[in-house]
């Protein structure tokens, strides 16, 4: 069956299953050391946090913290058709792969109805939409779901789990005010008696720091390190992979420490550091950020990407 796959799906299958190590690269002893190191490195920052000052390291805050901590300060979260597409589209995708629905439209309509019935956050928002708003969400989610369905040869994997919920790890114990949140979209399960190995699949553009965060969070939470993280950008067909080893987990700890150090002041109500860069051009805060506005004004004017006097 896999010999007939189109080239872009073949590339995903190869990225997930080819050249997998035949034994665990990160031993349980090494993983124990990694968890201890993560706790030791984050503990000093957590001691300054009080009730209601939780710091989350996730796929939104991590890239912001590593480039410009102030850019993580966003307006209060609001659902939109665009940011609901994945929340609605992923359960729909899971249903289609299991054979529970016939097409993306049916699967998305069912997923939206379930979200409303279960009174999830996105469901409460969906329940208040008028017909136009409902149609906008359906359009965005069906596009997301259909692209994801054709980008990956889901039925070629021996066993699969979709990541409907994020993976939470509290590195300082159950009451930890520092939280790591990984969010792989799916996990390919490779059963090797007596253990099950995992390859994480992320539907999105390749980002090494996010891949490291997902690998570290899943390893710490589940007690077994994923062998690999594979990124599939459904809109372009781009496929990238990160093989997970101890060095990668150590780099993830470095990221987490830098991110927590950068995010703690904002959690304590202090101003976060503003570090201008190319991120300013697409930053939500650029209209009210003096530093970023000044930096952008000082950049050479460009026409069609070419600097002009
Ligand atoms: S506009 Fe630039 S400097 Fe200001 S918060 Fe955004 S990324 Fe940082």
Q: What is the pLDDT of residue 117?
A: 93
H-type alpha helices, the chain? 7-17, 28-46, 61-67, 81-98, 104-117, 121-127, 131-151, 208-222, 246-267, 290-297
Q: Which two tokens stand for residue 14?
A: 């190869």
Cα-based torsion angle of the residue sequence 98, 99, 100, 101 in order, rounded to the nearest 10 degrees: 130
Q: How far is the CA of 98 from the centre of ligand 1 (A)?
A: 43
Position 302 confidence tier, pLDDT thresholds 50, 70, 90: confident
CA of 262 to the centre of ligand 1 (A): 14
Q: Residue 3: pLDDT above 70?
A: no
Q: For a pocket test of ligand 1, which of 274, 282, 288, 295 has the largest count of ligand atoms closer than 8 A to its C-beta?
A: 274
- Rounded to whole angstroms, the Cα distance separating 277 from 274 reads 10
Residue 101: pLDDT over 90: no
pLDDT (average), residues 17-45: 94
Q: Nearest residue CA, atom 4 of ligand 1?
A: 292
Q: Does residue 69 line the site of ligand 1, with CB under 6 A?
A: no
Ligand 1 center from residue 271 Cα (angstroms): 12
Ligand 1: atom nearest CA of 276 is: 3
Please report the atom of ligand 1 found closest to the CA of residue 272. 5
Range 283-306 average pLDDT: 87
Distance CA 32, CA 37 (A): 9
For residue 304, pLDDT beyond 80? no
C-alpha to C-alpha distance for 209 and 215, rounded to whole angstroms: 10
Query: Residue range 70-95: average pLDDT?
Result: 90
**Looking at residue 2, what is its pLDDT?**
54
* Å from CA of 236 to ligand 1 middle: 28
Q: Is residue 193 very low, low, confident or very high in pLDDT (cuts 50, 70, 90)?
A: confident
Residue 57 has pLDDT above 90, yes or no: yes
Q: Is the pLDDT of residue 240 over 60?
A: yes
- The finding on whether 285 has its CB within 6 A of some atom of ligand 1 is yes
Q: What are the extents of the domains in the chain?
A: 2-74+158-267, 81-155
In this prediction, residue 164 carries a pLDDT of 83
Query: Which ligand 1 atom sits nearest the alpha carbon of residue 283?
Result: 6
In this predicted structure, the answer to whether residue 309 has a pLDDT above a threshold of 80 is no
Residue 67 CA, ligand 1 centroid: distance in Å = 9
Distance CA 129, CA 141 (A): 15
Q: Which atom of ligand 1 is nearest to the CA of 291?
A: 3
Flag whether pLDDT at 1 surpasses 70. no
Rounded to an integer, the average pLDDT of 153-182 is 93
Ligand 1 pocket member 279 (CB < 6 A): yes
Determine the distance separating the centroid of ligand 1 and the alpha carbon of 74, expressed in angstroms: 11
Position 294 confidence tier, pLDDT thresholds 50, 70, 90: very high
Q: pLDDT band for position 76 (50/70/90)? A: confident
Q: How far from the centroid of its chain's Cα atoms is residue 213's Cα?
A: 9
pLDDT computed for residue 74 by the predictor: 76
pTM of the model: 0.91
Alpha carbon nearest to ligand 1 atom 5, residue:
71
User: Is 63 close to ligand 1, i.e. is its CB under 6 Å away?
Assistant: no
Q: Which residue lies with its CA nearest to atom 7 of ligand 1?
A: 280
Query: Could you read off the pLDDT of 270-286 as tens digits, one per residue?
Result: 999 999 999 999 898 98
pLDDT of 31 above 60: yes
């Amino acid at each position: 069956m896999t010999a007939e796959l189109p080239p872009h799906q073949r590339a995903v299958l190869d990225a997930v299953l080819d050249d997998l190590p035949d034994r665990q690269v990160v031993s349980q002893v090494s993983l124990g050391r990694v968890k201890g190191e993560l706790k030791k490195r984050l503990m000093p920052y957590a001691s300054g946090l009080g009730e209601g000052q939780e710091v989350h390291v996730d796929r939104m805050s991590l890239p912001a913290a590593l480039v410009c901590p102030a850019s993580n300060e966003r307006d209060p979260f609001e659902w939109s058709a665009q940011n609901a597409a994945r929340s609605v589209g992923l359960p729909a995708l899971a249903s289609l792969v299991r054979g529970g629905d016939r097409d993306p439209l049916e699967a998305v309509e069912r997923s939206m109805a379930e979200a409303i019935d279960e009174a999830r956050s996105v469901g409460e928002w969906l329940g208040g939409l008028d017909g136009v708003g409902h149609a906008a969400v359906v359009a965005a989610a069906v596009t997301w779901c259909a692209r994801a369905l054709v980008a990956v040869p889901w039925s070629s994997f021996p066993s699969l789990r979709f990541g409907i919920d994020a993976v939470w790890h509290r590195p300082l114990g159950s009451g930890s005010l520092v939280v790591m949140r990984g969010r792989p979209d799916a996990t390919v399960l490779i059963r090797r008696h007596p253990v099950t190995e995992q390859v994480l699949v992320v539907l999105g553009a390749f980002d090494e720091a996010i891949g490291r965060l997902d690998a570290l969070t899943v390893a710490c939470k589940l007690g077994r390190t994923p062998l690999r993280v594979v990124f599939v950008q459904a809109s372009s067909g781009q496929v990238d992979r990160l093989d997970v080893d101890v060095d990668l987990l150590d780099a993830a700890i470095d990221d987490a420490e830098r991110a927590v150090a950068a995010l703690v002041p904002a959690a304590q109500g202090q101003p976060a550091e503003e570090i201008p860069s190319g991120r300013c051009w697409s930053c939500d805060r650029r209209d009210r950020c003096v530093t970023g506005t000044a930096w952008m004004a000082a950049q050479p004017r460009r026409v069609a990407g070419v600097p002009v006097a």
